[in-house]
Amino acid sequence: MKNKLVYPLIGVLFLSLSAFTFHKFYMGVFQVNYVTEKKMIQITSRIFVDDLNNGMEKKYHKKTFVGTDRETQADIDLLKKYLADNFSVKTDGQLKTITFLSKEVEAGDVLVCYSRIKDIDKFKTIEISNSVLVDWNSEQQNITHVSAFGIKKSVLFTESSRKEVLKY
C-alpha cells in the first residue's frame, strides 16, 4: 500500500520539476517607420531593462543601471554606444547616422528608446542590422517591424540572422 502512494508521488514530483520549469522569454521589439513628409526614419526600441543591463555589462565589463533609480549619465552614454554598436540602418547601401532622442521605462521593466535618422530621401532598399543582446544570450530574438511607403514588413533577428535587406 505504501509503494502505491510513493511511486506516483515521485513521478508527479519528477514531472513538475523537469517538464514545467520556468523559461524566460528573450525578445526585443523594434519599430522602424519612414515618414515621407518629414524625410525621416523614426525608430522605437523596446527592450527588457534587466536583459539590457546584463548585455551591456558583458560587452563593456561595467555594471550599469539603465532604466532604474540608480541610473547615471555614464549609463545613458553607454546605452547610446551600445545601441549604435548593435543597431544600424543603410538606405540604398549608404550607412545612416542614428540620433538617440530619449528613453522611458514602460510597465516597470521595458526600456523604450526613441531615435531618428534625418534627411532621408525616397529609397529602394533598407538594410537593417540588429544584434541587440544576441551576443549576451543566444536565445535573444529581436522582431523588427518596418513601415515605408504604405508597406509594412517584419523581420526576426536572431544569433544566426543579424542583417536583412528589404526592398521597397
Q: How confident is the model at residue 95 (pLDDT cuts 50, 70, 90)?
A: very high
| Res 24: pLDDT | 75
pLDDT surpasses 60 at 85: yes
Contact 133, 48 (CB under 8 A): no
Q: The pTM is what?
A: 0.85
Q: Using N-to-C axis directions, what is the helix angle for 73-86 and 49-60, rounded to 10°?
A: 80
Supply 51's cell numbers.
536583459
pLDDT surpasses 50 at 9: no
Q: Please report the DSSP string for 4-69 in residue order.
A: HHHHHHHHHHHHHHHTT------EEEEEEEEEGGGTEEEEEEEEEHHHHHHHHHHHHSS---TTST
Candidate from 13-22, 56-65, 89-98 with smallest mean pLDDT: 13-22
| DSSP-based three-state secondary structure for 90 | strand
- Please state the rounded mean pLDDT for residues 2-7: 52
